[in-house]
Amino acid sequence: MDSFQMLFSSLSVKGMELKNRIVMEPMIVRYADYDGSVTPRMIDYLEKRAEGGAGLILTAGAYIVPEAKYRPNQLGVYSDDLMPGLKELARALHGHKAKAGVQMIHSGRRLSESVYGSEPVAPSPVAHAGAFMGAHGKAMITPRRLSMRDIKDLVEAYGAAAERIKKAGFDMVEIHGAHSYLINQFLSPHTNKRTDAYGGSLEGRMRFALEILEQVRAETGESFPVSFRMNGDDYFGSTGIQLEEAKKQAPHFVEAGADILNVSAGSSILEATNWNIPPMRIPRGVHLRLSAGVKEVVDVPVIGVGRMNDPYLAELALSEGKLDLVGMARALLADPELPKKAEEGRVKDIRKCIACNHCLDLDTSRFAACTCAINPELGRERIFRIKKVKTPKKVMVIGGGPAGMTAAMYAQLRGHNVTLYEREGQLGGQMLLAVMPPHKEEVQEFIDWQIRQLETLGVTKVLGKEVTTDFVVGQSPDVVIVATGAVPATLSIPGADSEHVCSFQDVLEGTATPKGAVVVIGGGRVGAETAEFIAEKGGKVTILEQLPVICPDMGASARYFMCEALKDVGVVMLPGSRAVKIVKEGVVIADSSGEHTLKADAVVLAVGFYPERKILDELIEADFYKLRAIGDCVEPKSILRAVQEGANTALQI
């Protein structure tokens, strides 16, 4: 059994006894009601993480006044009217021996009028160029400069909100002073251009934060633990906070009343979001240098963050003295039972977050509730309180990609007798290709996890089997789930079948090795990742995309970082360009300037997928109607949709 002695050691903070060193970091998942009140969905979500073993649960950033709201359905602590729900939430978390706290927040200039209708405010009238600018249908505007009276009122509002949190029965409170929210906007010279007592020098820029800490301490008393979340690095270079300045700030926060420092980094500005919510191309434990640096100058517990999704990494960081508490956010969205599994020595059963940032991008841009690409239970915990069926059915699943494996897993969990058939010699489907591009190796961990769950649950797997209609009929299944995936689409233009043309699948599987000047037709996620793959091997790559942006199928931040990566390896991107025909010399394209030829030694097609419907159509033709079709064989889609469809279908059987 694996030993995580430090990770599962206790820690006391002002009488608050934490059973282990794992902290669930706050995330604005939008499970609250429209007025910020607690909902059953929010309780279910957080209670599942408490049940999973986290020592401390910090709830999502709760807005302290109505005008501070950042997202629809965000938790609020601005009124006594919200107390009943807050009390119920605290009781639920305590029922699993977890300690619970609420993080307080004011969005400042990050507020968009299209979200709330209020005017954004900030220390200075510096407009916010956010990572999701334009995704909401309305760009963020230049904020109003806060007056001295405004500042005093906000300090008092923080204190009043903290008092509510204490009265509701929570064990502690956290003040969010990072990630370019209002307090960080005061702290950072990047956004604070004031020349009065609240700007200029380090002392001036800290004044707002210190007054809030002092007010919160005054309202909650000396024995109530207070955490302050700070940036160890804004990642704005010399125009923002860097580690050396953060180390100067930290002792002042402690002196003003902070009992814990929660050290993070980055902001919502595009260049810095990479560090705020690191994608999979950023190494695990990326911010440990920051927590370690802050620990050098304070004598209170320090929380460290930054893709801490692995208990071995967490134990190592603790043993090396880089932090006192391990902050986990997306890791506990992907697997709320990570702490329990690690403590029980079941590390291989942990569904590790792959940092794909679906939770950040694909929901944020549409204002929907948060979802996870690999955990279909997130936000639907009550639905997934799985009960065994009274009458088990014989379930045949055809296709071993993410949709098929998920369906098989949940059907078996419900007590059905499941057999999974896969035409190829290994499971994984299109995910096997998704592993191949640069920096996507962690997708393999999800494939391995799914396979392990199938084995643990006792799902019968038949690999290398081409299923036919006669075979299906002969097996007499009660239900057939078709999850046969998709195949690369072709392009109906002259020359698409030329010898120097191949598909992205050929490239990623290694059956084609394009060299020299390479044109990739199709600038979605697959085309972009394939282009990076080729460029890293020395190819001189140009991407063509008909739509006005590269990677239109990716969320805002993921798109930004993909395009930055392409620039780094010299890929030329041509949005708004259509391939007319492929010739020996290259590709004839049409753009706003007319038609012209791009020279190319090789052409790669990455123009999407066609559903693989062969067995599905044959079964329908044979009047076999005990069918469910899921995943890409219905319509090509993301891993998130494939996994959710697989789980949803299994629950309906």
Sheet arrangement for strand 501-503:
501-503, 602-605, 517-521, 540-545, 572-575
> Half-sphere exposure (CA, 13 Å, Cβ side) for 206?
22
Measured between alpha carbons, how far is 38 from 457 in angstroms, rounded to an integer? 35
3-state secondary structure 481-512: EECCCEEECCCCCCCCCCCCEEEHHHHHHCCC
For 232, the 3-state DSSP assignment is: strand
How far the first Cα of the chain sits from its last, in Å, is: 37
Q: Contact at 8 Å (CB) between 338 and 360?
A: no
Specify burial of residue 349 (Cβ count, 10 A radius: 0-12, 13-18, 19+). Answer: middle
Handedness of CA 345, 351, 354, 358 (dihedral sign): negative
> Half-sphere exposure (CA, 13 Å, Cβ side) for 445?
19
In this structure, what token pair is assigned to residue 91?
């009781």
Which DSSP symbol is given to 639?
Answer: H
Q: Is 181 a catalytic residue?
A: yes
C-alpha gyration radius of the chain: 26
For 518, the 3-state DSSP assignment is: strand
Q: Contact at 8 Å (CB) between 175 and 182?
A: no
Measured between alpha carbons, how far is 154 from 148 in angstroms, rounded to an integer? 10
For 257, the 3-state DSSP assignment is: coil
Measured between alpha carbons, how far is 561 from 439 in angstroms, rounded to an integer? 12
Strands 11-13 and 16-18: antiparallel
Among the listed residues 158, 181, 235, 421, the single catalytic one is 181
Q: Which of 14, 12, 10, 11 is nearest to 217 (CA)?
A: 14
Residue spans of beta strands (DSSP E) within 332-413:
394-398
Residues noted as catalytic: 181
